[in-house]
Structure 1
Amino acid sequence: MKTIVYMVRHAESSYTEGTERTRGLTLEGKLNAAKITEILKGEGIHFVISSPHARAVLTLEGLAAELELDIQIMEDLRERHFSDDMIADEEFEPAAKRMFEDPDYTLPGGESNTVCQNRAVVVFKQILEEYKGKKVAIGTHGHVMTLMMNYFDSSYGLDFMNQTKKPDIYRLQFEEMELEQVTRLWGENRVIGGSIEKECDVV
């Protein structure tokens, strides 16, 4: 029995210190969120779930309205907490690289890859069990999405995360708890976990 999960990385959101949970979408982000709705509205999605962060919820708000579904908020799907300290732009990439090299490395007050992955995967497995055989859209973020996918297939790491976009969509096909195939639906529609499909622009 196949379970399909659509990982929807949130659309563009302007970063402002101290607004991690509340910042919304830019104008471009809102336009792309509407495109997300167009891409996914015909997929037969049964449930819409999201990180509690506003930018993830807002990215799927139009889709949920189109499908007449409520968005279920799950706290442990939130983006990883990087640090209690302000991180300069030039420090972010080296820190992220070290985190993927050493899953237990943390910045002051932040979460390691291991801690973030563990708390998110618990919820993700619950989703796979509760909605077995269904199609579920999840509003998510770059780091936590990558770490959840990495749990099922270790090839998803820093290089994968760095090539994802805001927004982005990955269709994950599961048989029970086994990830069988991953297909990107934003930009070029192609299988990235299996054989390559014919590419076609969808946005």
Structure 2
Amino acid sequence: MSMKTTLRITLATATTFAALGVAAPQAAVADTPGRHFTVASQASASTQTLVAANAQAAAAGATACGAGYTQILLAERLPSATTRYATVYVYTNGKETGPLIYDQPTCAVLHNETGSAQYMGVRLKDNYTSTPDTEDFGTFSSYAGPVYQNKGYCGHVYSYMKKSGKVVVDHMRVVGSCN
């Protein structure tokens, strides 16, 4: 089984437990790499609330991003808080890769909340015009991504999903609290 498949299964399992309001078995959660995450101090109140209510899913997303990506910058249900097909998570490792505040590495994952495979994708664009976007689009049952930008803070995350041939998520958001 590939690493991406294993991570997708972990993310799907954690989210299923969270959606059912059931606590995940402690051994499974404790054994999940990336379990110890924080919400970045600059994250919005809505991100903080969503992560607090869905800690297992947030931990699984951090696992998908890999070692060090443990600070959550953004978590948002899409297309809205009441109609949910997907949740986008953006993480940073907290390191600076240049002299500016937005020179922080970012990782994004778009989690599929529909329960079945959908055509979907996530794209990260940094705040520099010369850097190519990174993206992962395809038919996924658990999540699209992870995708990375070396200087992604103040960039944009784009989320997309089609369900039964209809576009249900088409959303762009700034990563971080930038002017």
Scaled to the shorter chain, the TM-score interval is 0.3 to 0.5
TM-score, length of structure 2 as denominator length:
0.33
Give 1 or 2: higher helix fraction.
1
TM-score, length of structure 1 as denominator length:
0.30
Which has the higher relative contact order, 1 or 2, with Cα contacts under 8 A spaced 6 or more apart? 1
Larger Rg: 1
Give 1 or 2: higher strand fraction.
2
